[in-house]
Amino acid sequence: MAYDLDFEKPLADLDKKIANLRKREERLKPDEREQLQKLEQELHQQTGKLYACLTPWQTVMVARHKDRPHAIDYLDRMCGEFFELRGDRTYGDNPTIIARTAQLGDQTVMFLAHEKGRTIKEQQYYNAAMAHPEGFRKAYRAMKQAEKFGIPVVCLIDTPGASITIDDEARGQARAIADNLLLMAQLRTPIISVVIGEGGSGGALGLGLSDRILMLEHSYYAVAAPESSATIIWRNAKAAPEMAEGQQVAACQLLQLGLVDEVVAEPLGGAHGDYTAAADFLKQALIENLRSLRQLSVTALIEGRYTKYRSMGPVGRLEQVGVV
């Protein structure tokens, strides 16, 4: 596991010492073997302490980590065979939003997910997870299909925001996101949204109106990325760390505010350190939440969804947690 974020320097120093000892592990003296064990224990403990008290900006850095698992990584580990839907039946297909039916445990689920891509070529193909309007319209079509066949919907959110080019606006970006919100408010099947990395702006909101909102432990969710907000408010993108603090973007903060329903644990040091364990944690959380939602009637689902969003942000609650 690479410790390459700025705040991880103490961990990187320990990891380097461990790596040097491991290079000659077969030739280590007894006292050196003991030193290696102590260093490994110290690294484990220090990693736990550091990641237990990340600042909001550090959380943003982890959520954007170059090695953090993407939607496809989770889907490949949580599900087996799948059937993928393409196209919005209006303009074309946008691969940024993946739509596929797959087995999750013992039930069929409609997955909608942002994909970022890793290589430069992949990032261009997926537009770095910034969806075009046809991506949201594809999601709309997939949700209607799920509703028709009584299949629950699971949305994996990982985007800095929706694409904002002139062409996107010309093709109805705002309308496409608004249509999704209206549909999700009324959808007659369970919906769960999970922020697995970045949850930014309308790009996240277009897949985010759900019965249950989950966040991975080191993900973030905000009305706009901290840099964008800092530029708007202070005309200075470099003030992003202070803006992240003010926005309260971290999963634990949003759980306290009542804006999300559950924080899903990540492996020690973040999901980028162990893809399989991260996928196992998420899969278990999804199965448990789907099990409870499937017990509710359609009327109870829709009424609960309405009540959930109508009750968000009361001034009394915000005063309790120190926002106002």
Give the 3-state DSSP-derived string for the chain, with helices as H, strands as E and coil as C.
Answer: CCCCCHHHHHHHHHHHHHHHHHHCHHHCCHHHHHHHHHHHHHHHHHHHHHHHCCCHHHHHHHHCCCCCCCHHHHHHHHCCCEEEECCCCCCCCCCCEEEEEEEECCEEEEEEEECCCCCHHHHHHHHHHCCCHHHHHHHHHHHHHHHHHCCCEEEEEEECCCCCCHHHHHCCHHHHHHHHHHHHHHCCCCEEEEEEEEEEHHHHHCCCCCCEEEEECCCEEECCCHHHHHHHHHCCHHHHHHHHHHHCCEHHHHHHHCCCCEEECCCCCCHHHCHHHHHHHHHHHHHHHHHHHCCCCHHHHHHHHHHHHHCCCCHHHHHHCCCC
Q: What is the torsional sign of CA 295, 297, 301, 307?
A: negative
Residue 41 has pLDDT above 70, yes or no: yes
Distance, in Å, from the CA atom of 258 to the CA atom of 247, rounded to the nearest integer, reads: 14
Residue 122 has pLDDT above 60, yes or no: yes
Residue 292 has pLDDT above 90, yes or no: yes
Decide: residue 48, CB within 10 A, 0-12 exposed, 13-18 middle, 19+ buried.
exposed
Among 35-49, 110-124, 185-199, 265-279, name the one with the lowest average pLDDT: 35-49
pLDDT band for 56, please (50, 70, 90 cuts): very high
Q: Beta partners for 108?
A: 103
Closest C-alpha among 214, 207, 234, 209 to residue 312: 209
Q: Beta partners for 103?
A: 108
> Residue 130 corresponds to which amino acid?
M
pLDDT band for 320, please (50, 70, 90 cuts): low
Percent of the chain with pLDDT over 90: 74
Q: What is the pLDDT of residues 11-29, one digit of tens each?
A: 888 888 878 777 776 677 7
Decide: residue 257, CB within 10 A, 0-12 exposed, 13-18 middle, 19+ buried.
middle
Task: Quote the pLDDT of residue 199.
Answer: 93
Residue 324 has pLDDT above 70, yes or no: no
Distance, in Å, from the CA atom of 58 to the CA atom of 8, rounded to the nearest integer, reads: 10
Among 130-134, 175-179, 236-240, name the one with the lowest average pLDDT: 236-240
Residue 140 is encoded by which pair of tokens? 């709309």
In this prediction, residues 40-63 reach a mean pLDDT of 90
What mean pLDDT, rounded, does the chain reach? 91
**Beta pairing, strands 82-85 & 97-104:** antiparallel
In this prediction, residues 131-136 reach a mean pLDDT of 96
Task: Quote the pLDDT of residue 315.
Answer: 54
Residue 33 has pLDDT above 80, yes or no: no
Length of the chain: 324
Residue indicated by tokens 């290079």? 23
What pTM, to 2 d.p., does this model score?
A: 0.90
